[in-house]
Amino acid sequence: MYKGPRETRAFCETFRAPDGVEAVICPPYVSLQPALESGHTIFAQSVHWAAEGAFTGEISAPMLLELGVSGAIVGHSERRQYFGETDETVARRTAAALEHDLRVIACVGESLEERESPGQMELVLRVQVEAIADAAGTDEGLVIAYEPVWAIGTGKTATPEQAQEAHALIKSLLDVPVLYGGSVKPDNAVELLSQPDVDGALVGGASLEVESFTAICQAAASLS
């Protein structure tokens, strides 16, 4: 929940993705229109499974498409943590968005307690990914983002080896691109993105400043 229309417009006017990198910007709903005016690829931060109806506060895929939005994040860890998102609702949102030809970044990931309990990380990821796979399959518009919840907004980052292990597991369950999201910064981007099963990054806090987001994109470009 950062950057209203004015700040979003300024950010998008300044940011330029390096050649060879697809950069997607995901502003709040109120800032989608000024972001779209920049010509960048724009995703929303969530999308509802219904095309319309009595769901006050939600936004549908047809509404986003009418604006010109290309896709949406679904099931971000903050949606799961604070707003009651479940594996079932994530799957429903994902399937509905893809059916309307929106691209989707569907998020999965384990808590610190689950990471530290033997076998729980694998079980949690399997349940979350299989719910999405059952609903959507290997749709070409689908990307998974692995978010270790314990590494979001904490300054902690999964080691490249931990990220690779999780990404390999996810890809064994669902053959789609997998992004890493968990305190990605310019100084760790190359090491994370160079792992064989890490296909990109879902950048949080480091995307709020044009300079740091650009540096991460440049790190990705250097590996392409």
Residues known to be catalytic: 76, 147
Which residues are CB-contacts of 120 (< 8 A; sequence separation ≥ 6)?
110, 113, 114
* CA–CA dist 179, 140 (Å, integer): 15
Cβ count within 10 A of residue 178: 24
- Backbone φ and ψ for 169, nearest 5 degrees, come out as -65, -45
Closest listed residue to residue 146, CA positions, set 193, 220, 202, 211: 202
Q: Kindly give the pairing relationship between strand 41-44 and strand 103-108.
A: unpaired
Strand ranges (E), 157-216: 178-180
Chain centroid, CA 88 distance in Å: 18
